[in-house]
Structures are given as structure tokens and as C-alpha cells.
Amino acid sequence: MVGVNTLREMYEQMVTAREYEQRLQEAYLEGKEPAFDISAGPIPGELHLAAGHEASAAGVCAHLRDEDTVTAPHRPHHIAIAKGVDLDRMTAEIFGRETGLCKGKGGHMHLFDPDVNFACSGIIAQGCPPAVGAAMAADKRNEDAVAVAFLGEGAVDQGAFLESLNLAAVQNLPVVFVVEDNDWAISMPQPRITDVKTTAQRADGFDMPGIRVDHDDAIAVYEAAGDAIGRARDGNGPTLLDVQVHRRMGHFMGDPQTYRPEDDQERAKRHDSIERLAEDLREHGVDDDELAEVRDSAEQRVADAIEWAREQPEPDPAAAHEDVFVDEPTAASGGDD
Amino acid sequence: MAKTESDPGTAGADRELTMSRAMVDAITSEMHADEEVFYMGEDVQDYGGIFDSTQGLLKEFDRDRVMDVPISETAYVGAAVGAAQAGMRPIAEIMFTDFVGVCLDQVYNQMAKNTYMSGSAVNVPMVLTTAVGGTYNDAAQHSQTLYGLFAHLPGMKVVVPSTAYDAKGLMHAAVRDDDPVVYMFHKRLMGIGWMPAPEGPKTPVPEDDYTIPIGEADVKREGSDVTVATLGLHVHRALEAAEELAATSTSRSSTSGRWSRWTPGLSSTPSRRRADSSSSTRTTSPTASPAR
Ligand SMILES: Cc1ncc(C[n+]2csc(CCOP(=O)(O)OP(=O)(O)O)c2C)c(N)n1
Ligand SMILES: [Mg+2]
């Protein structure tokens, strides 16, 4: 059974993620209103927000340690926060600053924090093979670290995902695939792109356990993830975890969502896993003051991170040429001068 | 079917289009003219293409001709190869060109090579459309142009429109071509509401169908001192630079250059010049001329 402290921690991760993205959204829209110009403002480029996905990240990452690896897709903030990625440097990265996690070269879809073994890929399903690789490394070194690959339900038709399931299964590797099913792949609803009813069923084809958590509930995710991660850590191989979440917003900022039935967004908003967890906490005797305290401190943490990020220097344009190699080629081996 | 001319020029065209409208205009016309032409991609139905590449198509055609497909590029780009070998004329879209990595085998081992490897027993009359380019801070997985990657594949024709006029004529030519054509449209030139285009890509576009020969560069500006061979967004940047230089140059020399709509194709002959030019200017032939 999940203890009240764990519940409180999950709640904290979830409200931090929600608050973070609300503040980020405001910063993102600076310079982009009234006319939306994706290259304007302090955060140019795409921005995929994860409001409605928080329960899956919090429930899964509650079982992870720093040495466990997580790979995240194009919608990574809630996962990064739950994995313990440095919030200040992550924010500076999203603002494209020199002191960001990746010196401003990755941006919001491509966050890398080796301190907590967190990495992203903006290419659909392409975080799966590296997660298998991290699990392979742990296995070869006889460490009990595990790897978790997060992806969307739209990504499960991609070769990299299916090949990774097979490789992980046949090698019995300590990896868990977590599919966040928000019903949409940009404008494409799931029934348009697959005949398979639930992603969990896909595991059958690889003879691995496939578990579906069919409501957006942090405790249910926590319990299912505990089994899956425990199995991986104990050397009993991979699991596919299929978690229902909700997309409360557009696919990315600026998405007109004209393809989406009007009541669908309302439906998504009605299922708020944060409210649900608050309810659970009250049942565990945590009172409203305490919940408010958690929210206040999350707000402060987020405000501080954004303030810090905004003060950070822009990268020197010359730095664009750095980091192509760890060992920069010398002129003799083919430099540019 | 509307009458087809080869490269008629914009004289007499009384409507201006953005590049995306011109591209869709040509696709619409080809799909009306030939039932064997169809379009496959992610978010090309209700969304109309993330970069407006299919905006409005669903109003004209059924969902079995404008097809949303799973995020399975290997499967649907490869399916386009197969349908093309069966005689259809599919157009398949890779949303951002950077995503070609996940289906590269279908692109370079099947789409590009099947004609040669079969001794022309089969051919692959398909078009691969794809959005290219950055300028809006989307980082390294969403910003490349990869012109060179495609142009270096023997068997592949590559076209890069830089204006609406090019976009329509090259799309007509691409769909009708009996070889595989990669049609690379620069996001910044499409005229998308949320990614303002520079002045330049929006041009007069004739109503009637016309083709622009694949493999020939276009001269965008005549001059005698400098030759700049470029493509896509940089055509406009180069033209801007030429304007600036012309304005600041001394009376002794006029500073300008020749600018290209670059369509690196598979011509075994050097590309012809479209405009008469003095012998002091160099031709702007494609650098990529894979063997054929
Ligand atoms: C190989 C590849 N194809 C297409 C895309 C473009 N793309 C980005 S997100 C997305 C939809 C993903 O849907 P899903 O996996 O369900 O995740 P969600 O956005 O719903 O969280 C697509 C098609 C991509 N990034 N990579
Ligand atoms: Mg989804």
C-alpha cells in the first residue's frame, strides 16, 4: 500500500509540473500575441505542454532513483520534474540560455541531464532503443538500475518501439515502456491509426506483461509501476505499461484544435488527476492547509526557476560551432581552416 | 484538364498565391485529373498538414485519397513505393525532413534504387513531400534542410521551390514524372499564419497547369560580377543582399549576381540557362548530378 508521504511527494511533483507549465505558457506567449509568431518572444520554437499527463510521470518516477534512466518524448516537462531534473537549468534551457542543461542547444524537446540519467528525443518513439541500451548496460554490469522509456500512444506504431519491445523481451532486460495514452496524436484519434484496442495488448506479441491503467489516477499508476519496476529490478524482464492520461490543451501551443470535438477538451478537463489525488490525501488525513502549503512552495520554486532562467546570459553565437565533437578535429584531421 | 504549358512565366497571371496555396493548387489539379494520384501523411486530413501542405484538400476529396496514416513512416513511405510500382502516383509526406531517419531504407534502398536495380523493369513514379528548414529555434531534430542527403542518392530527383510560381510548376512536374521526386518545401516560405514568410515567395501564379522542367536552375537576377547558386530560403536572402549591395555599390561596377531556383535533378547534361546571359557569368548548374 502506498504511504501518505509518497502520496504527498507525488502531489508535489504533479502540482509543480502543472504550475510550471502554466507559468511557462505565459512566458511563451510574450511577443506571440495577438498574432501568433512561433519565432517571437523569449521562448521561440514549439512548446508541447503536458497538462493532464502528470499522474503517469509522478506515479512511475516515485519508484526511481537517480541512477535509473528515463527517456522522454517531445512532451517531457512533467517527466523531467518527476525524475528530479534540475529545474533551474531545465528552465534556462527552455529559454535557450548559456547555463541551460544543454547550453541552449536543445530547447524544450531535447533536455539532457546526466546527473539523474534523463534524456529526450523529439523523434517519435526514438527514446525507446536508448532506454533498452541503458538497461543493457545495467544488466551487463550487474547493477540493479532500471530504465524507463516514456512515449505517447501515437508512437506505438513506430518500428523503434516494436523492435525495442522485442529486443528487451528476448534479452530479458530491466526496462519499462510507459505509454501515455491521451487519445490523440496531434489531430489523429487512436481509432484512425490502429485497430488494436489498447496498447497494453501489444505486449502479447512479445510475450511480455502488458498492463493497462485505464483511469488517470496517480495511485493506480504508482501501484502498477511498482510491480513493473520491481520486476525489472529483480531481473524478471520488461513490462509495457499503458496509462490513460488526458490532453487538456492543444498538441502544441498555437494548435487551433479545429479537428477536436468541442466537448472532448471539456471531457479531458473533467478528469483532473491532481484533484483526485488531493481527494485521496484528504482521506489520508492531510488537511487543506497542508495541501495549500505544498502548492505554495511549488509556486515559489517555479517562480524562482523562471526568474533565474530569465537572468541567464544568451549563448555566444560562436558557441554554435562547439560541441559537434567532444574532441574537436584538428586542422590536420579535417578542420575548417 | 487545364491546359499545360512548360514554364510559361508569371506574365498575365492575375492572382498572387502563397507557396502553400500554390502547392495545394497543383496537387488538387493533379488529383482531379488522375484518380491514381493520392496523398498520405500524418495530420494531412483534418489538420491540413502541419505546414499547410494539404490545407483544403479534404474539402475536394474523400478520406481515401487524402489519407491520415499511423506514425509509421517506414510503412507508409514504403507503401507509396509499392503503390507507385503498381502504377499509381502516390504523394507521401514526411512531416519534417529530419524524420526521414526512421524510414531511410524505404527512401534510399527502395524508392531511389528500384528502377536501376530492376533494369527499369519497374519504376517508382511517386513524390515524397517534406518540410525543411529552421529559423525558429526548434533545435537539431526539427530544423535541417537535408537537401544534400537526398540529392546524393542515385536515382532520386530533388526539387526545392523558392516561390509560389515554382511551387506549383514543380509539383505538377513532380507528380507527372516517371521517377521518384523529393519535393522539399521550406517552412519559412510557405506563408503559414504563425510563421511569417519574407517578401518574395508570394508571387503571381497562373490558373492553368504548367510544369517547370526538373533539373534546371532558374536565374533570379542577372549580373556580371558574382554568381550565387543557392536554393530555398536563401534565394530570398541572397536577393536581399544583392539589393543592398546594388544600392551601396559605386558607379564603377554594378554588383549583382545570378540567383537560382535550384532543382538538383538527374540531368546528365549540365543544366541549361533559362535566361540569356553574358559570357562573363557562370552557369548555376546543380552540383549534385548522381550517375544514371
Ligand atoms: C518519426 C516522427 N514522425 C512524426 C513526428 C511528428 N510528431 C510529433 S508529436 C506527434 C504525435 C505524437 O502523438 P503521441 O505519441 O500520442 O504523443 P502526444 O503528442 O499525444 O503526447 C507527431 C506525429 C515526429 N516527431 N517523429
Ligand atoms: Mg497521444
| Coil vs helix vs strand at B60 | helix
Q: Contact at 8 Å (CB) between A146 and A135?
A: yes
Instruction: Please indicate whether residue B236 is annotated as part of the active site.
Output: no
pLDDT at B101: 98
Band of the pLDDT at B250, cuts 50, 70, 90?
A: low
Query: What's the ipTM?
Result: 0.95
pLDDT at B222: 86
Q: Is the CB of A153 under 6 A from ligand 1?
A: yes
Q: Nearest CA to B212 among B257, B284, B164?
A: B164
DSSP string covering B220-271: -S--SSEE----THHHHHHHHHHHHHHHHS-TT----EE---------SSPP
Q: Nearest CA to B199 among B189, B184, B207?
A: B189
What percent of chain B clears pLDDT 90, i.e. is strictly above it?
72
Domain boundaries, chain B: 13-261
| Coil vs helix vs strand at B203 | strand
Q: Nearest CA to A91 among B99, A83, A82, A80?
A: A80
Stretch B76-85: mean pLDDT, rounded? Answer: 98
pLDDT reading at B287 higher than 50: no
Interface contact flag, B71 A96, Cβ < 8 Å = no
From the list A39, A123, A157, which residue is nearest B137 (CB)?
A39
- Of all protein residues, whose CA lies closest to atom 7 belonging to ligand 1? A124
pLDDT reading at B286 higher than 70: no
Q: Contact at 8 Å (CB) between A87 and A301?
A: yes
pLDDT reading at B32 higher than 60: yes
pLDDT at A322: 94
pLDDT at B263: 52
Residue A321 to residue A304: CA distance in whole angstroms: 31
Listed in sequence order, the DSSP H helices in chain A are: 4-29, 54-61, 77-83, 87-94, 128-140, 159-170, 190-193, 218-233, 262-270, 273-283, 288-311
Residue B240 to residue B252: CA distance in whole angstroms: 21
Residue B167 to residue B48: CA distance in whole angstroms: 17
Relative orientation angle of helices A4-29 and A54-61, to the nearest 10 degrees: 140
pLDDT at A9: 98
Interface contact flag, A46 B138, Cβ < 8 Å = yes
Stretch B203-223: mean pLDDT, rounded? Answer: 92
Which residues 134-193 on chain B approach chain A with CB closer than 8 angstroms?
Answer: 135-142, 193
From the list B70, B138, B194, which residue is nearest A157 (CB)?
B70
pLDDT reading at B248 higher than 90: no
> Virtual CA dihedral for A272, A276, A278, A281, nearest 10 degrees?
-160
Residue A248 to residue A274: CA distance in whole angstroms: 13
**pTM for this model (two decimals):** 0.93
Averages of pLDDT over each 10 residues, chain A, 337 residues: 95 98 98 95 98 98 98 98 98 98 97 98 98 98 98 98 98 98 98 97 98 96 98 98 97 97 93 96 97 98 98 96 88 54
Band of the pLDDT at B106, cuts 50, 70, 90?
A: very high
Relative orientation angle of helices A273-283 and A54-61, to the nearest 10 degrees: 50
Residue B6's beta-bridge partner residues? B211
For chain A, domains (ranges, CATH) are 4-270+298-312 (3.40.50.970)
pLDDT at B220: 87
Q: What residues have CB less than 8 Å from B74, skipping those under 6 apart?
A: A159, B102, B103, B105, B106
Band of the pLDDT at B246, cuts 50, 70, 90?
A: confident
Q: Contact at 8 Å (CB) between A213 and A224?
A: yes
pLDDT tens per residue across span B260-280: 455 543 333 333 333 323 222
Q: What residues have CB less than 8 Å from A68, skipping those under 6 apart?
A: A117, A145, A146, A147, A148
CATH of domain B13-261: 3.40.50.970
Residues from chain A that touch B68, judged by Cβ atoms under 8 A, are 187-188, 192-193
pLDDT at B261: 53
